[in-house]
Structure formats: structure tokens, C-alpha cells
Amino acid sequence: MKKRISISALLVSIACIAYSQQRTTLNLAELAIQQKLETVHRSIQDFDGAGYKGVRLSEEGREGLVWIKDLVFSNGTIQLDVRGKDELQRSFIGVAFHGQNDSTFDAVYFRPFNFHAKDSVRRIHAVQYVSHPVNTWKKLRDDKMTNAQFEKEISNAPDPNGWFHIKVLVKDKIVKVFVNDRKEPVLTVQQLSNFGSGKIGLFTGDGSGGDFANLIIE
């Protein structure tokens, strides 16, 4: 006997498929003007120039976040254009996801000042995954079991003073990080947190600001 499927159930299934494949492009400058960004330890300024329209985060002490209001992310991709600078220990820039509050979240970020460092040890600290508040960069680096697993060098790294594109793929507790148009990830890690969903935000490290534009969630 064939199993009958009601029209309403079919429509719900179609809606779920459509939602799971939804692609959302966000203009950060407009979100800032509309006060749809929630800042933590940072001030923001919208800008429009040189082909990019986005926001600039101030350089201040402590880690800084800018949460996108009313946006929840589980699995999928986060894409973003970012710009830091080639100044030692003054540029940590990336994206936070699965945020539960201002101190509990996962993040992927870059250290542009290490992109082309002559010191090979510094170069392997170019891209980093963390899971706060437990698995900080220092804990992951100091622990012999996790050292060098959650941060990597970027071969043929971008200009540390220029814009570059990042894509973070989160799927089945695996996080993959891509730079510009590369087909292969520059970092692949097992997600350390148990959170399946949460807020999305812009991330900057202690003392760092940065520029962000063209946020795409899929």
C-alpha cells in the first residue's frame, strides 16, 4: 500500500528545504545605520569607499565583538571580506559563530602580521580557531595534545594590509576555513564546543580593530 502524504505536509517539507538552502547577503554599513549591530568592547563606524561598503571596528583593549541582531546560525557557510594590518600583535580579525553570550562562542580569526613573517614559527600562527571561554588560543597552543592543530600557516598568504575574502564552513562539528578563491581549506578542525547553533558576530582580538564588509550567510 502506498503511503499518502498530505498537501500540508508536502508544503512544510518544501519550505524546510528552501529554508535550509537560504542565502542571505547582509550590508553591514546599513545594519550599523539601522542599529541592528550589537557591539561589545568596540565602537563601529560605517564606511563606503574603494569598492567596499562595511564597518570599521575601533582599536581597544580586550577582545571585541559585533553581534548581528536577530540572526541565528547552525550549519552552513559564513563569508566575509576583512582587512587588518601588518603591525605586530595589533591585528586579529575574523568571525564568531554559535555565540551563546558575550564570552561563550566559537571563532575563526587571522593574524595578518604573521602572513609573511620571516620567522617560520610566527607564520604557523596565521589562522586560528578558538572556542571560548575554555579553549582559548593560549590553552590550545600550550597543550601538547592540541598544539599546532588549531592554528596554521597560510601558503601564498594575502597582502596583510589589504582586503581578503574568508569563508568558514561549519558542518557536522567540522570547521573548514577558506581564503579568497582557494578550493582547499587553509584550516580544518573538529569543533570543540557542544553548541549546535547561536549568534554570528564580527571578531577582533585584544588591541585590534579592523574593517569588515560583504557578509554572506548560507
Q: How far apart are CA 176 and CA 106, in angstroms?
A: 13
SS (H, E, C) 31-84: HHHCCCEEEECCCEEEEEECCEEEEEECCCCCCEEEEEEEEEECCEEEEEEEEC
Q: In the beta sheet, which residues pair with residue 179?
A: 166
In angstroms, the CA 178 to CA 185 distance is 5
Parse the chain into domains and list their residue ranges: 24-217
Tell me what pLDDT residue 22 has. Answer: 85
Please give the pLDDT value at position 21. 58
DSSP 103: T
Q: Can you list the residues of the chain whose pLDDT is less than 50?
A: 1-20
* CB 140, CB 71: distance < 8 Å: no
Grid cell listed for 192:
570543540
Q: Give me the pLDDT at residue 107, please.
A: 98
Q: What is the pLDDT of residue 8?
A: 41
Tell me which residue of 109, 116, 4 sits closest to 65, measured CA to CA.
Answer: 109
* Alpha-helical segments (H) within the chain: 7-20, 28-33, 120-123, 137-142
pLDDT of amino acid 2:
43
Homologous superfamily assigned to 24-217:
Exo-inulinase; domain 1 (2.60.120.560)
